[in-house]
Copies of this chain bind each other. A is one copy, B any other.
Amino acid sequence: MITKSKVGRYDFVAEPFHTDFTGRLSLGVLGNHMLNSAGFHSSERGFGISFLQANNYTWVLSRFALELNEMPADGEAFCIETWVENAYRLFTDRNFAVLSQDGQRALGYARSVWAMIDLRTRKPVDLLGVNNGNIVDYAAPEKSCPIEKPGRIKVVATEPARTIETFYSDVDINGHVNSMKYIEHIMDLFSKDFLSAKRIARFEIAYVAESYWGDHLSFFCDELPDDEYAVEIRKHVSPENPVGEVVCRSKLIFCNK
């Protein structure tokens, strides 16, 4: 019996210290609120932290794509709706809507793809085999998410635009660089002049491998036509190993404000 709504809705306020120099919520913070909403929603349905810890499992974010008409402004109340679109053996699609406080106006939508990993074997768990496969009972494929799915991202640059070292504040409880920290570092590639004139219309990221405290991350960046950028983050890039190892790939499409 399903007693919980298939769609969770969670309230947020754009806090003063979470807004950027333009007075809008920063992308990494919005992403963090979405991850928290996903966490609340899945916990309420028996796929949260206590289920995961009891089984030594963890959710792993594989892909994330977001389209925005407008970023919440400093002090603005808004809500995030989230729901499972589909669940398969190895992946589940979870969607998001960012709405005005009254739920009437869509600020944006997002799609994400998740796997569940067994921490002992690092192998994916069969999602249809846990909790009697009831994840599919929570799916709401009929609810509309009017943005394209995450696509393939290709980067051809051979010289990094920047290389950074990772520290304490980059890593999460698992010791991995926090998935939203990559987004902060990617946004940090853009200049003040550029970000004064443009805003994010679509942002996409595909997580390929984990990185850790002390890893050097190199950012390879293609500037494409129409304010589009493709970024590949690689670790362990050195003169002896100029290719390194891909950590994640991201695509950003900007538009005029």
* Chain A residues at the B interface, C-beta cutoff of 8 Å: 15-17, 19-23, 26, 28, 32, 35-36, 39, 49, 74-75, 167-169, 171-175, 178, 180, 184-185, 187-188, 190, 192, 195, 213-214
Contact = CB atoms under 8 A, between A and B. Distances in A.
Contact of A172 (B17, B39, B190): B17
A192 B169 contact: no
Contact of A192 (B15, B16, B214): B214
Contacts of A15: 32, 36
A252 B98 CA distance: 40
Contacts of A169: 20, 26, 28, 184-185, 187-188
B188 A21 contact: no
A21 B187 contact: no
A32 B17 contact: yes
A187 B49 CA distance: 28
Given A39-B16, A49-B75, A75-B49, A21 B172 contact: yes
Contacts of A173: 16, 19-23, 74
A62 to B, nearest CB: 17
A23 to B, nearest CB: 5
Contacts of A172: 16-17, 19-21
A188 B167 contact: yes
A175 B195 CA distance: 13
A77 to B, nearest CB: 14
26 contacts: A15-B36, A16-B35, A16-B36, A16-B39, A17-B35, A17-B172, A17-B180, A19-B172, A19-B173, A20-B171, A20-B172, A20-B173, A21-B168, A21-B174, A21-B213, A26-B168, A28-B169, A74-B173, A168-B187, A168-B195, A169-B184, A169-B185, A169-B187, A169-B188, A192-B213, A192-B214
A20 B74 contact: no
B192 A21 contact: no
